Amino acid sequence: MLITALLISLAASSDPITFSEHLIFDQFSYPYGIAAGDFDGDGDLDISSADCKTNDSLYWFENDGAGRFTQHFVQKNDPERLERHALGDINGDGHLDIVIVKNLRGHLLWFENSGTPRDGKLWKRHVITTELPGAYDVTLADIDRDGDLDVAASSWILGNQFAWFENDGSPDDGTWTNFIRYGATTSSIPAANSLNSMPTVFRVSSSPTLCASSSFAFRIFPFCIAMYLLGFLVARTSRILLSKLWIFLL
């Protein structure tokens, strides 16, 4: 039984992975930014996408569970480039919200999911900042580890900023603290991750550079890289020694 299961597993793993293309929507004026999450809480992944020139809208597409999608509006008539965005429950009410950059206005916004997103109403619009010129990309992570999602964002040549914004637990009251801001020389893409259980925001820029930015993680990042390289060398040396021992025994 065990061997049979193993053979099936090996056979399955050797199958090539293939993808088929499905058209979801073709009426964009300028699509920019896409994300997937369960906006209506029914267990399947829905999709969000911004449409930033002339349509100036942000959509979510409801998944019927079989990969067929219905378009809904999150926001309409919000000009000058709603673009890249990230998903997370920003106000902790159990419903997935959207944080998004508005590039040419230098705005960072979040849209609140009411929990009934199929009702045809636009989502409530909240401003995090209007002072991030060239707002380029955004991500969410609990950077200060107080249980709520904070926002990290970057801006490109209009501002060259890399910032994070502290969620004080009441993110809909309009007071977000711009806690840290690093100068950035080029457009950059933040990505939230965890490094040794520390919330970390990575910045990848076209320099190219990679920075890990949280007060503790920034200090231990070189240490982690050194440990990784040391582990790799130890593992490689061990394999060589074991192979020589095997030959000796033979």
Using CB under 5 A as the criterion, which residues of the chain lie in contact with Ca ion when the complex forms? 38, 40, 42, 44, 46, 63, 89, 91, 93, 95, 97, 142, 144, 146, 148, 150
Q: Report the 3 state secondary structure along 65-78.
A: CCCCEEEEEEECCC
Residue 98 corresponds to which amino acid?
A: I
CB of 115 to Ca ion, least distance (A): 8
User: Cβ closer to Ca ion: 60 or 156?
Assistant: 60
Closest CB to Ca ion among residues 169, 222: 169
Nearest Cα to Cα of residue 155 among 178, 128, 204, 188: 188
Nearest CB to Ca ion, comparing residues 40 and 51: 40
Instruction: Give DSSP secondary structure letters for 15-57.
Output: SPP-----------SSEEEEEEE-TTSSSS-EEEEEE-SSS-E
Compare residues 46 and 56 and give the one whose CB is closer to Ca ion. 46
Cα 107 from chain centroid? 18
The nearest distance, CB 156 to Ca ion, in angstroms, is 26
- Least Å from the CB of residue 85 to Ca ion: 14
Query: Contact at 8 Å (CB) between 46 and 59?
Result: no
**Closest distance between Ca ion and the C-beta of residue 175, in Å?**
14
Q: Smallest distance, Å, CB 35 to Ca ion?
A: 13
134 or 171: whose CB is closer to Ca ion? 171
User: DSSP code of 128?
Assistant: E
